[in-house]
Amino acid sequence: MKIKKFLTIKTFFILFLLGALGFSIWYYQLSNRHQAIVKTEVLHFFHWMDADWEIENSENLLSLRSPDLLVDDIYESMDGPQSILNVNMNPDHEPLRWITGFRTEVMREGETKHNNDYLCHTNVDFFDAIHFRNLNIPERMALQYPRLTTLSNGINDIRFPEGFGFPVPDNEKFIVASRTLNHNIEDPFFKVKHNIDFFMESGETKLRALNPKAVVLLRDYDHDDPDNPDFSKNPALCLPLDLKNHKVVNKEGKWLSSHWVLPKGKDKYEFDITYQLYIFEDTTVHAMAAHLHPFATAFSLVDATTNETLFTFNCDNYDEKRGLKHVPVYSSAEGILLKGDHDYKLVLETDNPTDAFSDMMAVLFLYLADTQMDEHLSKTYYSIPNQVRNDNSIKTDSKLSSD
């Protein structure tokens, strides 16, 4: 009996060691990014770090506080630990609510002030099929990528001009994904939390609706050998990064990269984004925000038909370390006119003084006047008395939730 017990314990111990060895071999073959994902999942699963999101909702603010995220290595853009949440943006079941701005602050353990060095990005996506179904405007489905915003290194606060917002009906959940960055601190070991705020207004206040558009500067790469581009074929080719997640098809149906290795020195990139804007009539843009990486110096929206620069984001990089210190935002009730029959392009200027690895992405978020949505909401929401509106909302949500 003792021998059997010994063999059972010994067998279990051997299997445990073999499992640990196999896991270690598998883990250390992963990329830095995927190691961060696995590590975070394990730490949260065993509750060795705070694993829960905290949510606070009030009339004018929806606040999220992320689980702990461990900073224990150099984490380049897109590589650090992240946490993802599906969050109800209208938990009080108002028939309509407005988002009027966003803010993310990353707090290192023991500190109470936002540290820009640790903000890689906070992405906010909505489920477009559910969103437009709930608003009863199904013709909007699948027309564009449903990303509402990205807050990132150098730009952690976006506010729409007064009187404008993004409509959120009842029964609406968004995806919030917030990732940590560390370009500069060697051998770190500390925790951070991401505090994410959505600035809100009640649907009782009638605002002008904004339609979010994300346009991306794309670059060609060597499709025969992406990791070893033949620059003799085309000097404009880039060395792409993570083509699995960061390649986009252009209007001709060719795949291009949205994430690439930034060469040393000064560079200038241009890309036609007319087909991404997808506008066919005159409109105005009332807010803009840029997602960029370190060593971006200027990012411009240009009317390619008139060659007029409509707005430039002049970027402020740190002198003593790597990172974007500040990227401005655009917010105006008057807005900038975009002509439906004009072409538009993005122009990015960079200046990389180092020999070390650096990467680049350039995405512009535009918030356009949405006259179609204004007219739709005026007919289907604001023309109906409040009590009837609430009753109809309850009936509609009940039906939708059973689908």
What are the tens digits of pLDDT across the range 66-103? 999 999 999 998 899 999 999 999 999 999 999 999 99
Are residue 75 and residue 96 in the same domain, yes or no? yes
Residue 50 has pLDDT above 80, yes or no: yes
Residue 398 has pLDDT above 60, yes or no: no
SS3 388: helix
Percent residues over pLDDT 90 in the chain: 76
Cβ 177 vs Cβ 123: under 8 Å? yes
Residues 184, 187, 193, CA angle at the centre, nearest 5°?
A: 70
- The per-residue pLDDT for 317 is 97
Are residue 186 and residue 251 in the same domain, yes or no? no
Are residue 81 and residue 176 in the same domain, yes or no? yes
Number of helices followed by number of strands (H, E) in the chain: 6, 25
189 falls within a domain? yes
Residue 31 has pLDDT above 70, yes or no: yes
| Cβ neighbours around 159 below 10 Å, total | 14
- The per-residue pLDDT for 345 is 98
User: What band does 27 get if pLDDT is binned at 50, 70 and 90?
Assistant: low
**φ and ψ at 166, to 5 degrees?**
-110, 125
Q: How many separate domains does the chain show?
A: 2
Residue 402 has pLDDT above 50, yes or no: no
Residue 32 has pLDDT above 70, yes or no: yes
- The per-residue pLDDT for 7 is 56
Residue 395 has pLDDT above 50, yes or no: no
Taking only the tens place, the pLDDT of each residue in 116-144 is 999 999 999 999 999 999 999 998 888 88
d(CA 382, CA 98): 14
Cα-Cα-Cα-Cα dihedral sign, residues 22, 33, 87, 397: negative
Who wins on pLDDT, 245 or 283?
Answer: 283
d(CA 302, CA 258): 19
d(CA 130, CA 138): 9
Mean pLDDT score of the chain, rounded to an integer? Answer: 90
Cβ 380 vs Cβ 289: under 8 Å? no
Are residue 161 and residue 253 in the same domain, yes or no? no
Are residue 363 and residue 344 in the same domain, yes or no? yes
The region of weakest confidence among 102-111, 194-203, 323-332, 383-392 is: 383-392
Are residue 304 and residue 382 in the same domain, yes or no? no
Are residue 397 and residue 365 in the same domain, yes or no? no
- The per-residue pLDDT for 140 is 87
Closest residue by Cα to residue 300 from 266, 349, 333: 349
Q: Which tokens hold the place of 204?
A: 């009782």
Are residue 176 and residue 323 in the same domain, yes or no? no
- The per-residue pLDDT for 389 is 43
322 falls within a domain? yes
- The per-residue pLDDT for 145 is 85
Closest residue by Cα to residue 231 from 222, 240, 241, 219: 222
Taking only the tens place, the pLDDT of each residue in 374-394 is 999 999 988 755 444 444 332
- The per-residue pLDDT for 2 is 54
- In this structure, are strands 82-88 and 173-180 parallel, antiparallel, or unpaired? antiparallel
Residue 26 has pLDDT above 90, yes or no: no
What CATH number does residue 333 fall under? 2.60.120
Are residue 234 and residue 341 in the same domain, yes or no? yes
User: What band does 171 get if pLDDT is binned at 50, 70 and 90?
Assistant: confident
Burial track 342-352 (b if 16+ CB lie within 10 A, e otherwise) = bebbbbbbbeb
Q: What's the average model confidence in pLDDT over 198-212?
A: 96
Torsion, Cα 315 345 138 249, to 10 degrees, reads -100
> Is pTM, for the whole model, over 0.75?
yes
17 falls within a domain? no
Q: State which residues form the domain around 133.
A: 42-206+372-401
- In this structure, are strands 208-216 and 164-169 parallel, antiparallel, or unpaired? parallel
Are residue 253 and residue 114 in the same domain, yes or no? no
d(CA 234, CA 239): 12
Are residue 270 and residue 252 in the same domain, yes or no? yes
User: What band does 309 get if pLDDT is binned at 50, 70 and 90?
Assistant: very high
31 falls within a domain? no
5 falls within a domain? no
Give the DSSP H or E segment for 249: strand 247-249
26 falls within a domain? no
281 falls within a domain? yes
User: What band does 168 get if pLDDT is binned at 50, 70 and 90?
Assistant: very high
User: What band does 33 get if pLDDT is binned at 50, 70 and 90?
Assistant: confident
Torsion, Cα 226 227 228 233, to 10 degrees, reads 20
Residue 403 has pLDDT above 70, yes or no: no
30 falls within a domain? no
Residues 170, 175, 180, CA angle at the centre, nearest 5°?
A: 145
Are residue 49 and residue 79 in the same domain, yes or no? yes
d(CA 147, CA 310): 23
